[in-house]
Amino acid sequence: MAVTLLERVLGAVEAHPDAPAFITADAPTTYRDMLALLSVTTRDLHEEGIRAQEPVALTMSQSPVHLITFLALARLGALVVPVSPFLRPADKAAIFAKYGVRIAISDRDDAGVPGCRVLLIRAVQAQGNETRLDYGNFVPRDDSPLRLALTSGTTGTPKATLQTHARFVQRMDRAGEDAGERPRFIPPNLHITTALTQALHTLAEGGVVVIPRGYDARNYLDAINRYGVTHVGLPPAHLAPMLDALPDGGVTFPSLRQLRIMGDTPPVALIELTRRRFTPRIFVSYGLGEIGRVAIATPEMLARDPHTAGMPLAGVRFETLDPEGRVLPRGSTGSVRVAFDGMPSSYYGPDASDRSRFRDGWFHPGDIARLSEEGWVYVEGRGDDVINIGGRKVSPHFVESLLQEFPGVREAAVFASGEAIGGTRIAAAIVPNAALDWSGLARYAERALDVRAPSRYLEVESVPRNVMGKILRAGLASWAETHGKER
């Protein structure tokens, strides 16, 4: 099996030159055409001075050009820093400064920051017979730096782990190992490592990357049927609006082999509604930004217990620890640590000395979970999000999951809200899905949670989330007070 990313993709070009590599609203792009566009892009970037090991921000929209530009940077040996074009200017500037970025490649005029050179690539033109890729002296090796995998940045400027060429291919294959033959995939935001690796695995396998006309429900769902899409990946917060556009129990997508819910643990109610309205072929993926996918729940597992995150992948060592760091028996809840061969062993750059997560050959993500007797993973929240209510520890994720099982609750975000005689109070920002019985919700929570039930409820139109759909907990309380209506 070829080792490098370019070898894998070029193998698909050789095997399927006239098959579609991309489908967009404009027209399909064959593998032969993709190679021509890649050749032109590689030449142009080399002429613009892109060189090996240079940090380059890639901040582009969803398009084939995004993936072709990434492959060109991989061929030239640049160190790709993925930066969402929708970040606030201050957050973007912080990433550029932290990782020494002086060049940004984008299809948007507002991509750069002061002192940064911007290369605009809105479209690429080729005759169709270009094949040359040997620009510059760089020849990728297994240990050549390729890309930084950034953390979610929910609590500050993202940290990063280094993906070498070999490590990227390993993560790519782990992301797509259950994709089957020649998948057709609609990727989520391509700045997310999981989305990028699945898209490139699709190309390496001779499949098709489908870019809908838009990512609103109408265009997205239409693309699934129109182009025979077999695989989609959606965070829970992005999946929920899709379900609103579908009738209950009447619509299926016959081509779809896998809907992967990713980024955050979905509420049970969302899984059940997805099964009725979208597809029964639901997979829930438990992954970690620093190291990739750790476990996956199949449709059969979710039918038995929709709370599970599934079985650890082959080769993954998954353990839970007590507060003293001792390994707990199965069935006991504790802090998670995971390990597998080839995973990163430290953060990159300014955070390389931070050993709070990478210790003794294990990665400690800060999640709280348990491993059942039969080896299934159940994620119960994050250790650093725990709220102390009168000496009782409360996981916001646990409370949110229960609240979201009440009819009429689409989303819930729980946070500490001031002090009372009994200690810290807990509040919940709620996005209602329909006419919501607020009094009934409060009674339900009190029965299910006792003192851990929210003492206040705020109605909001949405919950602040990052591109992976994870709740932005830093500043959540002040945000909710500003945007919420007391109920």
Residues 81 and 160 in one domain: yes
CA-based nearest residue to 351, from 95, 37, 127, 83: 95
Report whether 244 contacts 217 (CB < 8 A): yes
CA proximity to 479, closest of 451, 458, 453: 458
- Whether 381 is covered by a domain: the verdict is no
* CATH of residue 363: 3.40.50.12780
Q: Are residues 358 and 399 in the same domain?
A: no
Are 140 and 166 in contact, with CB atoms under 8 Å apart? no
Examine the domain organization and report whether 150 and 47 are in the same domain: yes
- Distance between CA atoms of 264 and 175, rounded to whole angstroms? 16
431 with 411: CB under 8 angstroms? yes
Q: Are 161 and 149 in contact (CB under 8 A)?
A: yes
User: What is the rounded CA–CA span in Å between residue 110 and residue 341?
Assistant: 40
How far is residue 272's CA from residue 29's CA, in Å, rounded to a whole number? Answer: 37
Residue 422: the pLDDT is 46
Q: Give strand pairing partners of 147.
A: 80, 163
Query: Residue 1 has what pLDDT?
Result: 45
Residues 203 and 288 in one domain: yes
Per-residue pLDDT of the chain (487 residues; tens, 9 = 90+): 447 899 999 999 999 999 999 999 878 999 999 999 999 999 999 999 999 999 999 999 999 999 999 999 999 999 999 999 888 888 899 999 999 999 999 999 888 788 899 999 999 999 999 999 999 889 988 899 999 999 876 556 889 999 999 999 999 998 877 777 889 999 999 999 999 999 999 999 999 999 999 999 999 999 999 999 999 999 887 888 888 888 877 667 889 999 999 877 788 888 998 998 999 999 998 999 899 999 999 999 999 999 999 999 999 999 999 989 999 999 999 999 999 998 999 999 999 999 999 999 999 998 889 999 999 999 887 776 777 665 566 778 888 888 988 989 988 999 887 654 445 778 999 999 878 999 999 999 988 887 778 989 999 998 888 766 778 887 788 888 889 899 9
Q: Are 308 and 297 in contact (CB under 8 A)?
A: yes
Q: Is residue 12 part of a domain?
A: yes
Q: Which of 341, 371, 401 finishes a domain?
A: 371
Predicted model pTM: 0.84
Last residue of a domain, one of 371, 402, 432: 371
Would you say 335 and 367 are in contact if contact means Cβ atoms under 8 Å apart?
Answer: yes
If one counts the domains in the chain, the total is: 2
What is the side-by-side order of every strand in the sheet holding 160-164?
A: 117-120, 103-106, 55-59, 79-82, 145-150, 160-164
Token match 């072709």: residue?
A: 68
Residue 274 and residue 167 in one domain: yes
Q: Are residues 189 and 257 in the same domain?
A: yes
Query: Radius of gyration of the chain from Cα atoms?
Result: 23
Query: Same structural domain for residues 184 and 254?
Result: yes
Same domain, 280 and 395: no
Asked if residue 410 and residue 330 are part of one domain, the reply reads no
Q: 282-288 and 258-261: which strand pairing?
A: parallel
Asked whether residue 164 falls in the same domain as residue 26, the answer is yes
H/E element, 79: strand 79-82
- 190 and 279 in a single domain? The answer is yes
Asked if residue 431 and residue 322 are part of one domain, the reply reads no
- 248 occurs within a structural domain: yes
Determine the pLDDT at residue 447: 83
Residue 442 sits in a domain of what CATH number? 3.30.300.30
Question: Residue 376 domain-assigned?
Answer: no
Q: Which of 309, 343, 371 is the last residue of a domain?
A: 371
Task: Give the pair of three-digit tokens for residue 51.
Answer: 């060189």
pLDDT reported for residue 180:
78
Q: Which residues span the domain enclosing 188?
A: 5-371
Helices 5-15 and 31-47, axial angle in degrees (round to 10):
140
Asked if residue 377 is part of any domain, the answer here is: no
* Pairing state between β 387-389 and 392-394: antiparallel
In-domain check, residue 380: no
Domain contains 214: yes
Whether 468 is covered by a domain: the verdict is: yes
